[in-house]
Amino acid sequence: MMSSRTHRVSVVVPTYNEESSVGEVVDGIKSCMKECEILVVDGGSEDHTVRIAESKGAKVLELGERGKGLACRKGVEVAKGEIVVFIDGDGSYPADYIPALVAPIARGEAEMVRGSRFIRRPHIPALRYVGNKFFTAIASLLHSRTTDLLTGMCALRKDVLLKMDLESQNFEFETELFVKADHFGLRVKEIPVPYFGRKGSKLSPLKDGLKILLTILKAPKRGKVRS
C-alpha cells in the first residue's frame, strides 16, 4: 500500500500564456504538498509564464509547441513521482484539493481519482455547462458513469498512465484518460472540487468538441482489461 508521505508525487501543470495565474498555482501546490515535484510544461508561451514558474521554484519543460494533451503526455514521461496529478495552469481549480486526490491512490483504494465540478453546481458559462453535460452523458452511456467528463484536475499512478499509451494532442486529453481508464477496468473515484472559471478559455467549442466526441465514440467499450 502506498503512502502519500513516503512516495513522491509529481504535479503536472500544462501552460500557455498563463503569466497572470501560474505563480498562484505553483504557490498553491507548494502550500498543500510539502514534498512533491512541480512540473510546469509550457507550450511556447509568448508572455512571462516560464520566467514566473521558474522564479516560484517549479521545474519547467519548454516544448515550443501548443497542445494540452501533448504537454500532459510529456509531463508524464519526465515525472519522477509514483503518483501524477494534473491541474490546469489558469488557476481554475484549487490546488489545495490535491491531497484529497492523492489520498485514495496512496491508500490503495483507487488507481485514478477525478475532481468533479458537477457533484456541486459550478460557476460555468451556460454554453460550456451544456456542452460538458452533453459529452458527460454520452460517455456515461457508452462507458462508465461519470459526473464530469472534462475535468482538468485528476490523479493517477504513473505506471498506469504509461500503460495507457496516450495519444491526445489537445483538449481531448481528459476524455482519453477517462475512456482508457474504463477500458482497463481501473478503480476510479470522483471527489467534488470547486471551480473558478477564468475568462479567455483556449478551448474551441467546434474543433475541440468534435475531437472529444470522436474520442468517446472510437474508444473500446468496457473491455475491463486489468492493468
The CATH superfamily label for domain 9-218 reads Spore Coat Polysaccharide Biosynthesis Protein SpsA; Chain A (3.90.550.10)
Rounded CA-CA distance 28/200 in Å is: 22
pLDDT, tens digit (0-9, with 9 covering 90-100), for 59-111: 999 998 999 999 999 999 999 999 999 999 999 999 999 999 999 999 999 99
Q: Which of 113, 21, 101 is nearest to 58 (CA)?
A: 21
Cβ contact 158:80 at 8 Å: no
- pLDDT, position 57: 96
User: In degrees, to the nearest 5, what angle opens at C-alpha 55 toward C-alphas 8 and 101?
Assistant: 30
Q: Is 147's pLDDT higher than 90?
A: yes
Vertex 32 angle, CA 201 and 146, to 5°: 50
Q: Where are the domains of the chain?
A: 9-218
- Give pLDDT tens digits for 160-176: 999 999 999 999 999 99
State residue 224's pLDDT score.
46
CA distances from 147 to 19, 62, 210, 211 (A): 31, 33, 20, 20
How are strands ordered across the β-sheet holding 9-15?
59-62, 36-42, 9-15, 83-86, 154-157, 112-116, 188-192
- The distance from CA 27 to its chain's CA centroid, rounded to whole angstroms, is 18
Whole-model pTM? 0.89
CB contact at 8 A, 59 and 25 = no
Burial of 11 by CB count in 10 Å (0-12 exposed, 13-18 middle, 19+ buried)?
Answer: buried
